[in-house]
Amino acid sequence: MKKRVVVAMSGGVDSSVTAALLQEQGYEVIGMTMQIWDYSSFTAENGESFGSCCSLDDVYDARRVAESLNIPFYVINFEEDFQRHVIDNFCDEYFAGRTPNPCVLCNQVLKFDLLLRKALELEADFMATGHYAQILRRDDQLALVKGVDDAKDQSYFLFTLTPEQMAKTLFPLGGMTKEEVREHAVRFNLRVADKAESQDICFVPDGNYVRFIEEERGAGHKDGEFIHHNGQVLGKHTGIYRYTVGQRKGLGLSWTEPLYVIGINAETNQVIVGEKALLSRGDFELHRCLWNIATPTAPIQVECRIRYRHQPVEATVTPLPNGGASIAFSQPQKGITPGQAAVFYHDDRVIGGGWIA
């Protein structure tokens, strides 16, 4: 009896190759696409219209690939769940003065929960995605491990995976480079072989998240103060959601030195700015930590990554009684941004992570 696998197909190269490879390896493959956001009405200010990972064009591509592989293909409507769990959180986080990471959340709440459940409802043995990450047996347990293509590694976005989820998940591309995946796409003659990479945030295809939030929540009177680190009020801003830690452009402040956003206080509605040196910090706190090893009770040495493209840096993680942790980097890091995930590695293995407070 063939093993049955549901492949989460986005219409892009990676998930299409995933489906083709698993079929070649003898699996019974079923394609499934999450419809999470409808871009049919989205047009940017300059009139440019966008495709993105969840637009109807991409659903069309996924369907056409599935048809060419002659596999069953289903589109599952997760628009409400996506709105509730991802979009609403995205907006809430900005209004709370944080910079959210919707991709981690989407993996946690949609792909590896709701979609995985759909797969299991179809008696699938596994769900597969086109992520560049690996699930390997380490120390007699399942471990989430970086993809071998360092430039593409997506383990950061997957740190919330539980052992139960990993046991049901396949990442066939984790051992490959993007170049190899493209070669497979050509070999399988997939129509999406030359398709461009998708955006970082699929529902903000033009990158203008401020406009997105204002469309979602309305542009209101959310003015507040720019305040210098030294306490001096420097001017007015038009809403804290417009700012993110590390931002320099668009502040419109005159000062003897270039100023950066170094913090946001949602309670006082203040954006705190300071000189470049103030961007770097050695210590910060996490909340809601998750562990892929036995939850440590004493300080532990890790390499810590504080955003997707960040090169992991040695750090000491001290677990806190509230389920969070305090982190001390071996050397100060720029851009420690509340709302982003901090992910801990031991070499190439993800051992845990949490959300920057």
Active site residues: 106, 202
CB of 116 to another protein, least distance (A): 12
Placement of tokens 């992570």 in the chain:
353
* Interface mask toward another protein for 4-33; x: CB under 8 A: --------------------------x--x
CB of 33 to another protein, least distance (A): 8
Contact 61, 9 (CB under 8 A): no
> CB-wise, 24 or 38, nearer to another protein?
38
> CB-wise, 9 or 342, nearer to another protein?
9
Kindly indicate which of the ranges 69-77, 223-231, 320-328, 337-345 contains the residues binding another protein, using the contact rule CB under 8 A. 69-77
334 touching another protein, by CB under 8 A: no
234 touching another protein, by CB under 8 A: no
* Interface mask toward another protein for 77-96; x: CB under 8 A: x-------------------
CB of 39 to another protein, least distance (A): 11
Placement of tokens 């592989």 in the chain:
69
Contact 30, 15 (CB under 8 A): no
Kindly indicate which of the ranges 86-94, 115-123, 170-178, 319-327 contains the residues binding another protein, using the contact rule CB under 8 A. 115-123
35 touching another protein, by CB under 8 A: yes
> CB-wise, 117 or 248, nearer to another protein?
117
Contacts of 70 (CB under 8 A, 6+ apart): none
120 touching another protein, by CB under 8 A: yes
75 touching another protein, by CB under 8 A: yes
Number of chain residues interacting with another protein (CB under 8 A): 19
Distance (Å) of CA 288 to CA 88, 112, 166, 343: 19, 18, 20, 12
CB of 188 to another protein, least distance (A): 23
CB of 56 to another protein, least distance (A): 6
Task: Give residue 17's identity as a one-letter amino acid code.
Answer: V
Contact 273, 234 (CB under 8 A): yes
CA–CA distance, 218 with 161 (Å, rounded to integer): 34
Among 59, 104, 264, 336, binds another protein (CB under 8 A): 59
Kindly indicate which of the ranges 95-103, 117-125, 170-178, 245-253 contains the residues binding another protein, using the contact rule CB under 8 A. 117-125
> CB-wise, 25 or 77, nearer to another protein?
77
Contacts of 269 (CB under 8 A, 6+ apart): 222, 223, 224, 225, 240
Q: What is the DSSP letter of 209?
A: H
Task: Give phi and psi for 177, each to the nearest 5.
Answer: -90, 160
Pairing mode of beta strands 4-8, 126-128: parallel
72 touching another protein, by CB under 8 A: yes
Phi-psi region of 294 (alpha: psi -120 to 50; beta: other; left: phi over 0): beta
Best CA proximity match to 337, nearest among 312, 356, 309, 351: 356
Contacts of 41 (CB under 8 A, 6+ apart): none
> CB-wise, 56 or 210, nearer to another protein?
56
Contacts of 55 (CB under 8 A, 6+ apart): 37, 38, 39, 40
**Interacting residues with another protein (CB under 8 A):** 30, 33, 35, 38, 40, 56, 59, 63, 72, 74-77, 117-118, 120-123
